[in-house]
Amino acid sequence: MKYIETKLKGCFIIEPSLFNDDRGLFYESYKKVEFEDQLGERVDFVQDNVSISKKGVLRGLHFQNGIHAQAKLVQVIKGEALDVVVDLRKNSPSYKKHFKIRLSENDHKLLFIPKGMAHGFLALEDNTVFVYKCDNYYDKASEAGIIYNDIDLNIDWVISADKLILSKKDLVLPTMKDLNI
Ligand SMILES: Cc1cn([C@H]2C[C@H](O)[C@@H](COP(=O)(O)OP(=O)(O)O[C@H]3O[C@@H](C)C(=O)[C@@H](O)[C@H]3O)O2)c(=O)[nH]c1=O
Q: What is the pLDDT of residues 96-152, one digit of tens each?
A: 999 999 999 999 999 999 999 999 999 999 999 999 999 999 999 999 999 999 999
Q: Which of 51, 75, 88 to mutate to test the pocket of ligand 1 (most atoms within 8 A of CB)?
A: 51
Mean pLDDT of the region 149-166: 97
Residues near 40 by beta carbon (within 8 Å), at least 6 away in sequence: none
For the chain, give the mean pLDDT.
Answer: 98
Report pTM.
Answer: 0.98
Query: How many angstroms is it from 34 CA to the middle of ligand 1?
Result: 28
Q: Is the CB of 127 within 6 Å of ligand 1?
A: no
Q: Please say whether the structural domain 43-171 has been given the CATH code 3.40.50.300.
A: no
One-letter amino acid for residue 165 of the chain: I
Instruction: Using CA atoms of 56, 152, 11, 73 in order, give the dihedral in degrees to the nearest 10.
Output: -30
The pairing of strands 98-104 and 80-87 is: antiparallel
Nearest atom in ligand 1 to 61's CA? 23
Residues near 171 by beta carbon (within 8 Å), at least 6 away in sequence: none
pLDDT of residue 67: 98
Query: How many angstroms is it from 139 CA to the middle of ligand 1?
Result: 10
Nearest atom in ligand 1 to 70's CA? 27
Provide the annotated active-site residues.
Answer: 62, 132
Residues near 118 by beta carbon (within 8 Å), at least 6 away in sequence: 60, 61, 62, 63, 85, 86, 88, 145, 146
